Structure formats: structure tokens, C-alpha cells
Amino acid sequence: MSNTIGNNLLHQSLLSPTVLEHQSRCNSSTCIWGNTFLQSQANSITHRPSLSTEFRGKRLTLQKKKLQMGRQGPNFRSTKAILAADTSSMLTEKFSLDEKIELQVDVELPTSGFASVVNVQISCSSDSLLLHWGAVKNQHGKWILPRHRPVGTMVYKDQALRSPFVKSASNSALSIEIDDPAIQALEFLIYDEAKNKWYKYNGGNFHVELPKADFRTPDISVPEDLVQIQAYLRWERKGKQNYTPEKEKEEYEAARTELLKEIAGGASVQDLRARLTSKNNTSESKEQLVSGSKKELVSGSKSNIPDDLVQIQSYIRWEKAGKPNYSPEQQLKEFEEARKDLQTELEKGSSLDKIRKKITKGEIQTKVSKQPVKERTFSGERIQRKNRDIMSFLTKFASKPIEENISPVPEVLSAVRQYSKAKEEHIDGPISSKNFYKLADKELLVLVANPSGKKKVYLATDLQEPVVLHWALSKNAGEWAAPPSTVLPPDSVSVGKAAETKFTVSSSENLPHKVQSLELTIEDDSFVGMPFVLLSGENWIKNSGSDFYVELKTGSAEVQKVKGTGDGKGTSKSLLDNIAELESEAQKSFMHRFNIAADLMEQATNAGELGLAAILVWMRFMATRQLIWNKNYNVKPREISQAQDRLTAKLQNVYKSCPQYREILRMILSTVGRGGEGDVGQRIRDEILVIQRNNNCKGGIMEQWHQKLHNNTSPDDVVICQALIDYMNSDFDLSVYWKTLNDNGITKERLLSYDRAIRSEPDFRRDQKDGLLRDLGHYMRTLKAVHSGADLDSAIANCMGYKTEGQGFMVGVQINPVSGLPAEFPDLLRFVMAHIEDKNVEALLEGLLEARQELRPLLSKNVRLKDLLFLDIALDSAVRTAVERGYEGLSNASPEKIMYFISLVVENLALSVDNNEDLIYCLKGWSLAQSMLKSGDDQWALFAKSVLDRTRLSLASKAEAYHQLLQPSAEYLGERLGVDQGAVNIFTEEIIRAGSAASVSSLLNRLDPILRQTAHLGNWQVISPVEAVGYVVVVDKLLSVQNKSYSKPTILVAKSVKGEEEIPDGAVAVLTPDMPDVLSHVSVRARNSKVCFATCFDSNILANIEALEGKLLCLKPTSADVVYSEMKDDELVSSTYSNEISSAPSMALEKKQFSGRYAISSEEFTSQMVGAKSRNIAHLKGKLPSWVNIPTSVALPFGVFEKVLSDDLNQIVANKLQVLKTKLDDGDISALGEIRNTVLELSAPPQLVKELKEKMQGSGMPWPGDEGEQRWNQAWVAIKRVWASKWNERAYFSTKKVKLDHNYLCMAVLVQEIINADYAFVIHTTNPSSEDSSEIYTEVVKGLGETLVGAYPGRALSFICKKNDLNSPQILGYPSKPIGLFIRRSIIFRSDSNGEDLEGYAGAGLYDSVPMDEEEEVVLDYSSDALFTDSKFCSSILSSIARAGSAIEELYGSAQDIEGVVKDGKIYVVQTRPQM
């Protein structure tokens, strides 16, 4: 309980006004900083709802006996709809407001305390409904304003409250809880702000009488000490929760009510005392509490010292002691000591009046020692982090392609939009602006054009009642000036500084409903704008409570329609187009922008992730000052605050209902700012006046800033405030003022660009310094509460609660604490703030992460969710700031400390993103690496390097996902809005830099060289050690140039190499920072083609080589390094290179014929029937040790594809393929994909099905058709996909390169049962990197082997084994692959062409092997796998793999390239071929 029951349960007692002097010590504070002091009730015999005094935070808070009365005008009180509630049941009453809208009012009495709940529901889902209300305490009926108010409530002219309704389906609802027993009734009206319409009851107020509990009679009372004990028991029963002050009060009164019910049921006070103080019902602490209460009763009876003086003296003692957190027993003891202090004064002869005067001056002598601060959640300078299951914060959603959720049904244009479309087609001239405004369920069009050089304004609406335009013209933005008579349309009427013109009905056969329209021609160029409102029937219609305003002059920054913006592919184009059309309206002010964004949220959510990406891009352009913030429009700060509040509330609702979008919603929230609850926005406007008045600084910069704040406050004001504070703290150094502004993007030109420009520099007097620093410091919190969602101080204050008193005209603000927070949370936040500026940031990072972990369970269901989200965002931001501050401190840090820092920041990132499974396994990997280091494992650095590589891959994957999601929208919208191209180009990059991923990356870069040095890895991994001389060419992806042919010898520096690419013609070397496996296809082809291939781990070395682009280099690789040197062009012997190119081998294929059989068993495999892959696996049967297992195989031999194609069943497919082959021969590469798709249209001849079934069943293999026709169809599709892979782009170009006749390429299909492997491996029985034939080189992955030989990122586990010592494998590298492939029991169909094993041609892996079932991608956790945690198990498995490779090499008598799997510790070999 926020230092409660145990520390407070809202105790009430009388307090003299003399205590007010103490109040000025701390006008406002946040509750977490101190103790809520227990106030004794020992002398109170009956409950008195009197003036209460609490120690709350670091201050004494008063409830003043001052009522704010409201009058509603003469007719508001004339008639009442009276709803009288009884105490026996909830009463419901319904009223009809008009033909379509019904009002329902429910009044209910909770089971405890005085709180009554009034529920108001309206059958209308308008966003603009407000409850205009107040409370009545006595028969005079004047309104008072209760302190307990619904979220979003605003004070209206200090006379009434206005609370927004909450939309729920087609209804709007609102609940009001009244906890003041003196309130007898509520009165209200309903106001539709958009329509400017009041809903009354026969011209008067709705009046709701509140119920009273009939068992609360004046002659029944309970001693307060018993109420305290009962409240304590309730607190314990409920798990010692963290209560808000309001909840504390409710619990205290609920305890009283329970005891009163027992008395009403016949129990005596003595019975209650016996029960509550019995040993069975009290703990030691409760006994102490009772004991303390009794002592106080005794001492109280011996003196006549009033309780209010005792409380004040207790407060003074508490302050002198350092404001410690007292236990209940200590609190009671402190009251006793305070009473003794005063008793001593009384015994000295002082009167009570004299004591009262002395106490208010602090002249009462007291002995109290400052208490040491005791932290419950931490000891010393570190917190004690809780042990949590890392997997508990896993968030995982089904992955799906990013696409806009758009209904195929074409958009139906409204009548107004049809009118607009028709009008635009006939306008001869440019269109300056076009805006559509929502008028409840109707629309208003405002179109400004320049036909024939004239300015014309077109207005149209589908409102049903006759509409009158009440308008004016402005020569200065925002003013109302009467339009000249030459401008007035016929039948217009001048009305003071305005004119009124009626709309006319436009009828057309194309319009389904009538549209009222109006055209105005304004030829005078001196007018800059046109303000207006509408009168429809008897209702005035405004723009969200403000005047409409039309821009008549367009500046250079005006939004214009840009040609050539592309097709918007990969975006929510329709939403982005809407945003672009509305930007000219959004430019007016933040209020307009946030309200427009709120209106677009439904469309964005319906469009899915791309829709929310559109909102994020737009808000990010705004936050980075790429868009205009304010243009010719005055707006009150509270209106901006309300608009922010409305938008963030909608974002909060989507966060709750669509958890799959939470990551992007957090990003949007961080760009918007929190918005002010209650009257915090209004204080921006009011408080600056108080600052000016208090510090006598009404001219110069303060007056100019004041005018800007009144006109349109923005996030710039936070920076301006900080600049003024920094200026005074630097002894009035103006350069510091400008540095703060410039560092945050505010230049002198920007200050001058405001509608209310700031022209002056600060020039304060020294005697103003202290007061201004104090007041601007307080003002900063007000500014940040609205504008800075990621500001930690204001985020904490909004969650933990604070109160700021009003002064004069300035409204007060009270933010209640968020309920349901963990009991230790306040202490945790206090620790964070105490260390927030520490240079040594380790303890701070622990505190921030612990706070985020404590918050995490609440980030889905709390009523005040957005406040908690902003706190979490602020904590996340604080982690990034702390890491940046502490980065330099790691210069000489130990690897263990750097790894610990990395684990903290990875944890922070995992708490901020969706689909964080990979990051969580990275986090587990870092934990294991630290354990290995601590235990002295000499492999720790090698393992940590694999975790580092995997973490980098995870960051790269996240960056790629952001780029795919956000960059297309940024480019499309940026072009539509004319955003600076540089800002558009780096949009996603800046998003990433601003996140936690950038902090992780910096730490990884710090650790990487340390690990490489410790593990003796060097700067290079040489995959193909071939000397090379060539010209440097830098490319992003090897894939993008694989089909290119270089005319000169070329050293390619490719930033991305995935593993399945081809080496382009003319390339003599490929250098990359990427990490393809040594045994991946591209690695094998590099070695076979005698191309130098190496990975460089040092970014500086690679950058040096990239800087030599176009230069001639000589590369000399060793097994672990690459030495390079620059050469002169004349040193290159061109004839040698050209001879090498021209001597590329020309190979011939033997065309295979159909043998007459569709399927054959392994015993029938011959060179005329199948390829080397099938023959080699058949050759192994019975020739290897019994512990090496060989899977059963059958095959579809050469010629079967051609036979199936020639079958009458497939005549149409054959004809289509012939046309496509001709197209391909003519050089149209697009035909390759069409051919592959056409092959999939083949039908299976019945004889093929019959023979394949017989061979598979005869070999003991399962027949797919036994599981149903669908399973056979799956198998048939897999076979066709193998055949179709003959026309893969990579394979096609590879055959062309070596001049193979592609038409002679034949494809057999090897059929094997899939072993659902634990691990897969590839063995080269001669080390390919060093070409050392005395050692075996092997790579191992978890799951199926496709992640090893295919284009899957990351490294496999690699090891070597000397052939003379096969029981001693040496691990070279641990795995970093994040993904493993797993599959159910199934069949795989492997390609086996006559071109895969030609001597001198690296054809292996060019064609596809296709399983009948889809593999499942599983994110891998190496930290819990025995292969990586159990050294004995690891040695056993790796040795068995090496022995199997050695046995196969011995059988064939030559070096072998072997693929196999491990299942339950058993070795299976699935194929072997000669190592090339």
C-alpha cells in the first residue's frame, strides 16, 4: 500500500488554520518521495467527515473548507428531471433526448463506504459529447465541484465540470463515483460540442439524488483504533496491495462499515475488540499497532493537548528526521513523542495558545536524530533484482506478409465527395487546398482554387436543414473583418464584422442525396484568410469548438499535390493520400493535427500494420520539425492538451485490442506526447503569467514567450524553458542559452518564424535568478506533462500522482496515483531518480530494468494504461541515455562487465519489441557465456563470439523489418508533403538510431575485438585460400551481381552474402563482412572455381579496402589472414587473364532417355537411370559400420519428366512449355518463372502412381496415398517442384556460364524418408580452408540441413578432427544461426541431375530438394541444448560424426563431401559425393 494502512489509511482529524504556514514549504510534490504519515484517531469517538490533514509525499496536504459554487443561467434551474435513488437496489431511469437518442441513468450503492456510482449512457456514439455537471450539498442547490472526477474532466469557468463520454459500440457512457457523503445530488446537462447543441430536461437540469446507507445511524460509533485494525486486516487479506489515496479512504471506510454492520447485528464494541485483538486474528505487528493505540488513549486522557497540534509537531519531527518511511509502530511512537514534546511545554507553564504560536514558528524543542534511509528493494548502492524466468516476457505473434487490409469492394464516395470530384473536373486552374470536415455523420467540403487568376472558395455540405454561412475575411491571420460589399454574393446580409450567406441546394442525377453548396469569389489579394461558422437550423456548428478558417494565401511551404509520387506500393496508400489532403488543415495547430490523427485512427487500425505505419511516419515528420507546427491560428494550450489526450486515448484502446501492433503503437506514442489530464494544459497558459508577476519580468523575452505560449504551445517550449534555466545556471552566459537551443534543433530563424515571434535574448537581473530558477523548474513539469511522453520525471509524477494548488486565477491540478502498482514500486522509482545522473551507470541500469519488469504485467489491462506506457517508454529512453553516458567508462572494462552491460541492454530491447523470441535466446546465450567465463571454461570467448554474431543478426533482422514497414510510407508521404529528401532518405535509419538497438550495437562493437583476440580468431576467416589480383568493386549484395560478367579481373567487396549465390564471371575474389558457412553452396563454388573467398571481421580493415575501389589489389590469403597490397596497372598481365577467361571449360552432357520404368529401387540404380547422388547412397549400403545408418531410397529415373510431359494428359502443358522455351531462347529471362509455374500444372499418369507406390512399399517406405488423396497430391507437387528447379535462375545461368546445353540436362528424383533430425551435418574429409588432408572439417546445425547449405543467416557449429585422433574433436566456432528447420515424419524428393557432378563444374546444390510437408521454422535456444552445455555429450556426438566421415572416405578411397543427420544419438548418412 503506498506506505499505507501500514503507513496510512486516510485518517481524519481536526486541524487548526495555523498549520497553513507549513503548506507553503512544498506546494506540489509527487507521492513516491516520502511517507504518508499515520494520523492518530485515538481521541475521536465518532466518525467526523471533517477537515483532513495528511502527510502525503514530502508535504502536508490540506482539504480546505471552501466550496466552489456554479450558476448555470436563469433557465438551467427551472425544471428538473429528478431521479431519487434508494438504498435497497440500483435504480434506472430512461429519458428520450430526441427521436434517435435515449439517455439512461443508473445509480448504485457499493457494498462498502459512502461512494455512490452514477452511470450515464447515451445511445449515440459521437466523439464530441460532454457531461456538463456539478454536485449539490444542500437545499440551496448551488453547484460545487467534487475532487473525484472521471478521466479527462475539465473545469468550465470555475462553475462546472465537463467530462467526455467514452465510446462503446453505438453508445457513449460515463461513470461518476461520488465519495463525499455530504453530497446529496448530482445535476447535469449534456452538450454536443461539435454541434454546439445542449440536451436539457424541459429546459432545465437533470437532477439525480444520491442514496444514503440506512444502517449508518448517528448513535452508532466504532473506536478509531478498531477501525485501523480492521483496515489493516483487510489490507493483509488483499495481498498488501499498493493503494491510491482514494482507495485508502475507500478501504478505511469499508472497514468502518464492516464493523458497523456487526454492531447493527448485535455485537458490542467489547466483542469487536476481543475479536480483533485475539491471538488468532492478529500478527505481532497488529498487536503492536493495538498496543500503540491503547498507549495513545492513555496518554491522551492525561493531557488536554489537541490532536491537531500533535499532528503538526509529528510533521516537524518527521521533517527533522529526514522524512523517513515509518512503519505503523514507528508512526504511533512518533505521535507519542510529539505529544510528550508538547506536554513538556505545557508543564513549563505555556498555554495552548502560546504553544500553538511557538509550534508554527518551529520553536518547540525536540530531540530527534536524522534517520538513515532504509530501502526495501535494494541495499547499499545496488538493487536486489528478482529472479525471473526469462521466457516469461516472451511476446510472439504469427508472422504474416506486410500488406494493407483493403476490402476488394470499391470505395463508395459520399455525396459531398462526389460533388467535389465533379467540381474539380470543371475548375480551370490550380487547386490551392481541399479539406473535408466531419460534422457528426455529415460532411463539409472547403475547396480553394484559382480559376482564371481569381481566388474562389467552394463550400458544400450534406446537412439536411438549411445552412447559413456566417463569415468574415482576414487581412491579419485569425481576425474577423466584414467582407466588402463587392465580395458578397446575392441575398447576403452584413452582420457587424461578419456577413451571412445562405447555401443553395445543388441537385444532380449523379448525387444520391441533396448537397447544399456555395461559391465565393475574392479578388482582393490583401485578404489572407476567411474565418467562418455555420448555422444549421437553430444549431451553430464549429470546427471542434473553434472557428473554421480557410487559408487564402499559399506560401512556399504550402502542401501541394506532387506528381510522380509513385504507386505507393508497400504502403497504406489510401490513408497516406487522406493525410496529404488534410495536411493543410493540420498545419494550423497541434490541436488540429492531433484531432485529425485521432479521426484517422479507425481507418489506420482497419488497414493493419501499414495503416499504423502511416500514422507513425506522419507523426515522426511532425516531431522532427519537417512539417509546419502552427500557421495563422491561435489555440489554447488546454485545447492542444485535450486533443493529445483524445489521440493517446485512441492509441491506448488499439494497444489493448490489437496486441500484435504494440511495438509500433509505442513508437507512435513516443512521438505524440502524453497530453494533459484535467487542467494541466490550461496551466501552461496561466502559470507563465504567475511566473512573470512573481519575478517582475513582464517585458522582453518573457513577454514574447508568453505570447507564443498563449498562441500555440509546442515541444519547443520545453527546450526554451531548459535554455533559460541553463542560461541562469551558467552565470547568465548567453552562449549557453543558444547552445541548448541549437543542440535541440532551435535556431534564431525558428524563434522568429513563430506566429508570435521570440526576438529578444534573455536579460535577467541577478536578484531574479533564484525565483526564476525555482518557478521555471516547476513550470518545466507542466510543459513536460503535455509535450514530453518520454520524460522520466513527468512520467513518474503522472503515475504516482501529484497535486499542484491553484493561485488566484490559475487552476489547480490533481493527478491521482495509478492503482494496482506493486508495493515496492515507489522505492524502486526513488532509487532510479536518486541515481539518474550517476557516472557509473551499472546500478542505474539495473534499477531501470527492474522497474520495467515490474511494470510489464500491467501494460495490457490497467485503466490508466497510457500513463503506464509513457512511464515504460521513459524508462526505456533512460536506459539508452545511461548506456551512452557510460559507454566511455567501458574503455578498460573487463569482458565480463561488458557482457553484463550487453545483457542488460538486450533485456531492455526485448521488453520494447514484439516477436522477441530471438532476443530472449540471445539473452540466455549471454548469461551462459558469463557463466562459462566465471567457471574458467577456456571456450568462453569462442561461445561469446557466437552469441555476439547472433545478436548482430537479430539487430539486422529488426532493422530490415523496420525498413520494409516504414520506408515506403516515408518516401510516398514525404514526396506528397514536400519533406526534405535527406530526411526521407534516412527516415528508417534515424528510427533505428533512436532506439535501444543502437545502444546494443555500440556495446557489441566494443566487445568484438576483445573476443576475437581472446579466442585467437584473427580478423579474417579464409574460406577459399586462393591468391588473386584484381580491381576493387564494392556492391551491397552479391546476389545483385551474380549474373553479371566483369571484363576485368574483379575483387568484389559484397556487404551481403547469404550462401546460395553464384560467383559472377570475371570475379577473382569475394570479400564480405557477412558470415556464410564454410560449407555453404557459395563457399563450395568459390573453392571449385579457384576464387578467393573470405570473411573480414574488422570493419576498419574492410573500410580501408572499400576506399581503394577502382584500384588494383593483390590478395595473399593464409589459413587465418589476408594480406593485401596495391599494385600498378602495368603489373597486371592482361594476356594471362584473358587467356583464363577464354579457356573456360566447355562441357558436354549426355542426354538421357526414358528407360520404360517410372520408378526403381536402390538395387536398380545405374548411371543410365540416376545421377551420382542416388548411386553413391546405394553404394554405401552394407559397407559401413553397423552404427552408421543409411535411409531407404527409391527413385524416379532419368526421362520420367519428359515421358510425363509427352503423355496425352499433358498435351496443353507441353504446348505451353514449348512456347515459353522459345521465348527463353530469345533472351527473355522472365520466361524462367513462367516455365516453373507451368511445370506445376502437369498431371500424373496412372502408371507412374502405380509403379512408385509398388517400389516405395516394397522398400519398406510409407506410401503417401495411404493417408488420403490429399497426401498423394502433396507428394506429386513436391516431385514437380524438383523437376521445375531445372529452370531456377541460378542453375540456368550456371549452365550457360560453362556452356552446357541446358536442353540435355536431365533430372532424376531420389525419394527418401525424412529423418526428423536433432542435428544435421556436412563433412569435408579434407579441410577445405587449409587443404590439409590429415584433418576432417565438419559443420553442424540444429534440425534439418537446409539451414546449413541454404541461404539461412548465421554460422553453424564447426570443428576439425585429426584422422589419427578421431576421439578428440576441436571446436572452431559455436553456432549463431537463429533458425532451425524441423518437420514431421515425411518424404523428401531430392534433385539428382546428370549435371551436378561433372568434373570441374560445381553443380551441387543448384537444384531443389523438396519435402512433401512444410518445414517448421523454430527459433533456436542453444543455451539449453546438451550439445553446447554438456562437454561429454558434445565430444561423443562430434567424434561419431568424424568417424563416419573417415569410414566413408576409406570406402571410396578419396576425399568426400558428406551430408547426414543425428537422431537420438544415432548417425544417418543421407548422401555423399567426391569433395571438389
Which of 132, 207, 1081, 1324 is the catalytic position? 1081
pLDDT of 369 above 80 = no
| pLDDT, position 790 | 66
> Residue type for 810, please?
M
The distance of Cα 143 from the centroid of its chain, to the nearest Å, equals 44
Q: What stretch of H or E contains 947?
A: helix 940-977
645-to-585, 1363, 1433 alpha-carbon distances in Å: 19, 72, 59
797 Cβ contact partners less than 8 Å away, ≥ 6 residues apart: 30, 781, 785, 815
| pLDDT, position 12 | 29
1069 SS3 class: strand
Q: Cell 539508452 belongs to which residue?
A: 880
**What confidence tens digit (pLDDT) does each residue in 1294-1350 have?**
777 777 788 888 999 999 999 889 999 999 999 988 889 999 999 999 999 888 877
Q: Cell 521533517 belongs to which residue?
A: 319
Contact 622, 787 (CB under 8 A): no
**Active-site annotation holds for 513:** no
| pLDDT, position 69 | 30
| pLDDT, position 1137 | 42
Contact 1394, 1372 (CB under 8 A): no
985 SS3 class: helix
- Whole-angstrom distance, CA of residue 1347 vs CA of residue 51: 73
Select from 1459, 1468, 1457, 1462 the least CA-distant residue to 1436: 1462
The C-alpha R_g of the chain, in whole angstroms, comes to 40
Contact 1412, 1389 (CB under 8 A): yes
Select from 774, 802, 897 the least CA-distant residue to 846: 897
1251-to-873, 1155, 1208, 1271, 1409 alpha-carbon distances in Å: 65, 13, 19, 17, 21
Q: Read off the C-alpha cell for 539.
A: 444549431
pLDDT of 10 above 60 = no
Contact 858, 825 (CB under 8 A): no
Cβ-based neighbour number of residue 1123 at 10 Å: 11
The mean per-residue pLDDT over the stretch 309-324 comes to 74
| pLDDT, position 976 | 87
Q: Read off the C-alpha cell for 347.
A: 508543564
Apex 302 CA angle, 301 and 308, nearest 5: 70
**What confidence tens digit (pLDDT) does each residue in 338-357 have?**
888 888 888 888 888 788 77
- Whole-angstrom distance, CA of residue 875 vs CA of residue 849: 8
Judge residue 1379's burial from the number of C-beta atoms within 10 Å of its C-beta, 0-12 exposed, 13-18 middle, 19 or more buried: middle
**What confidence tens digit (pLDDT) does each residue in 791-827 have?**
788 888 878 876 655 554 444 556 678 888 888 898 8
Report which of residues 1087 and 330 the model is more confident about.
1087
Half-sphere exposure for 1305 (CA within 13 Å, toward CB): 26
Q: What stretch of H or E contains 1208?
A: none
Q: Cell 522520466 belongs to which residue?
A: 792
The distance of Cα 1395 from the centroid of its chain, to the nearest Å, equals 51
- Whole-angstrom distance, CA of residue 1097 vs CA of residue 1021: 8
User: Which residue spans within 1057-1169 are E strands per DSSP?
Assistant: 1065-1072, 1092-1096, 1112-1117, 1122-1127, 1160-1161
Report which of residues 19 and 97 the model is more confident about.
97
| pLDDT, position 1098 | 87
| pLDDT, position 239 | 61
User: Which residue spans within 312-462 are E strands per DSSP?
Assistant: 378-379, 382-383, 431-439, 442-449, 455-461
Half-sphere exposure for 240 (CA within 13 Å, toward CB): 6
Using a pLDDT cut of 90, give the percent of the chain over it: 36
| pLDDT, position 37 | 32
Beta bridge partners, 815, equal 802
| pLDDT, position 1034 | 94
Q: Cell 549435371 belongs to which residue?
A: 1395
State the alpha helices, DSSP H only, in 87-204.
Answer: none
For the residues of 22-35, what is the DSSP string, one character each?
Answer: HHTT-SEEEGGGS-
Which of 467-476, 544-553, 1058-1067, 1203-1212 has the weakest average pLDDT?
Answer: 544-553
| pLDDT, position 1397 | 65
Q: What stretch of H or E contains 404?
A: none
904 Cβ contact partners less than 8 Å away, ≥ 6 residues apart: 845, 846, 849, 879
Bridging pattern class, strands 171-178 and 1416-1419: unpaired
461 SS3 class: strand
| pLDDT, position 304 | 67
Report which of residues 241 and 1307 the model is more confident about.
1307
95 SS3 class: strand
Contact 687, 782 (CB under 8 A): yes
pLDDT of 532 above 70 = yes
1343 SS3 class: strand
**What confidence tens digit (pLDDT) does each residue in 26-68 have?**
333 333 333 333 333 323 223 333 323 333 333 322 233 332 3
Taken as a whole, the chain contains a residue count of 1476
Residue 846 pLDDT class (50, 70, 90 cuts): very high
The mean per-residue pLDDT over the stretch 1092-1102 comes to 90
| pLDDT, position 1253 | 95
**What confidence tens digit (pLDDT) does each residue in 147-197 have?**
778 877 887 877 888 888 877 667 888 888 887 777 888 899 998 877 778
Which of 12-26, 285-299, 511-525, 1104-1118 has the weakest average pLDDT?
Answer: 12-26
Average pLDDT taken over every residue of the chain: 80
Residue 290 pLDDT class (50, 70, 90 cuts): very low
Beta bridge partners, 469, equal 501, 534
Which of 25-39, 167-181, 373-387, 1123-1137 has the weakest average pLDDT?
Answer: 25-39
Apex 933 CA angle, 927 and 935, nearest 5: 100
- Whole-angstrom distance, CA of residue 693 vs CA of residue 1057: 67
- Whole-angstrom distance, CA of residue 174 vs CA of residue 608: 29
Q: Cell 475532487 belongs to which residue?
A: 147
**Most confidently predicted of 628-632, 1188-1192, 1392-1396:** 1188-1192
State the alpha helices, DSSP H only, in 1070-1152.
Answer: 1081-1088, 1099-1106, 1134-1142
pLDDT of 24 above 60 = no
The mean per-residue pLDDT over the stretch 1436-1443 comes to 96
pLDDT of 860 above 90 = no
Residue 1404 pLDDT class (50, 70, 90 cuts): low
| pLDDT, position 351 | 82
Report which of residues 1126 and 268 the model is more confident about.
1126
**Most confidently predicted of 71-75, 1054-1058, 1440-1444:** 1440-1444
> Residue type for 1012, please?
R
| pLDDT, position 77 | 34
Residue 1401 pLDDT class (50, 70, 90 cuts): low
Contact 943, 1375 (CB under 8 A): no
| pLDDT, position 292 | 41
- Whole-angstrom distance, CA of residue 1293 vs CA of residue 1300: 10
